C-alpha cells in the first residue's frame, strides 16, 4: 500500500478530511451570512458571530451524521458542540476585532478578516469535538452503550 493509501486508511485522517469538508460547507454558510449582514450595515463582529453560529449549526448536523456517525444523545452532544463553538467563536471575535482595528481599507479586507477569524477557531473545533463531543464514537460499535 502506498504512503498516501496508508495515511487515508487511518480513521482519524478520514475523520479530519470529512470534518474539513463539513467545515467548508459551514464556512460557505458563515461567509454568505456575514457578507449579507455587512451589506445591511451590521457591526462586523456581530455579523461574524451570527454567521459563525449558523455555520456551526450546519457543521454540528453534518458532523453528527457523517463525520463521526454518532448515535449518542443529541442534546448532550449539541450542548458540548455549542460550548466548543463558543470557545472558537470567542477566539474568532478577538481576531476579527483586532484585524478590524488595525487593517487599513483595501479590496477584500472584510473577507480576509472573516477568513482569519474562521481559521483561528478551526483547530480548536476539530480537536475538542473529536475528543470531547464525539469521543464515544471512537470505540468499536459493539462496545458502545
Give residue-wise pLDDT tens across range 9-19. Answer: 677 888 889 98
Domain assignment of residue 90, yes or no? yes
Q: What is the pLDDT of residues 117-133, one digit of tens each?
A: 998 888 788 888 888 99
**Backbone dihedral angles phi then psi of residue 46, each to the nearest 5 degrees:** -70, -40
Question: 48 to each of 30, 78, 91, 104, how far by Cα in Å?
Answer: 8, 21, 12, 19
Domain that holds residue 127: 3-139
Of 56, 20, 53, 21, which is closest to residue 37 (Cα–Cα)? Answer: 53
Domain assignment of residue 145, yes or no? no
pLDDT at residue 70 tops 50:
yes
- Rounded CA separation 132/13 (Å): 17
Domain assignment of residue 79, yes or no? yes
Domain assignment of residue 34, yes or no? yes
Number of domains observed in the structure of the chain: 1
Domain assignment of residue 144, yes or no? no
Domain assignment of residue 28, yes or no? yes
Q: What is the pTM of this model?
A: 0.75
Domain assignment of residue 108, yes or no? yes
Amino acid at each position: 500500500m502506498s504512503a498516501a493509501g496508508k495515511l487515508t486508511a487511518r480513521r482519524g485522517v478520514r475523520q479530519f478530511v470529512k470534518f474539513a469538508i463539513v467545515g467548508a460547507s459551514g464556512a460557505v454558510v458563515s461567509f454568505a451570512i456575514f457578507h449579507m449582514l455587512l451589506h445591511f450595515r451590521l457591526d462586523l463582529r456581530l455579523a461574524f458571530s451570527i454567521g459563525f453560529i449558523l455555520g456551526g449549526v450546519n457543521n454540528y448536523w453534518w458532523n453528527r451524521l457523517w463525520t463521526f456517525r454518532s448515535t449518542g444523545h443529541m442534546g448532550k452532544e449539541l450542548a458540548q458542540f455549542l460550548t466548543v463553538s463558543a470557545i472558537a467563536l470567542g477566539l474568532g471575535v478577538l481576531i476579527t476585532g483586532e484585524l478590524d482595528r488595525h487593517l487599513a481599507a483595501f479590496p477584500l479586507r472584510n473577507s480576509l478578516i472573516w477568513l482569519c477569524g474562521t481559521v483561528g477557531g478551526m483547530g480548536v473545533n476539530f480537536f475538542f469535538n473529536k475528543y470531547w463531543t464525539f469521543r464515544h464514537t471512537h470505540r468499536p460499535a459493539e462496545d458502545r452503550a
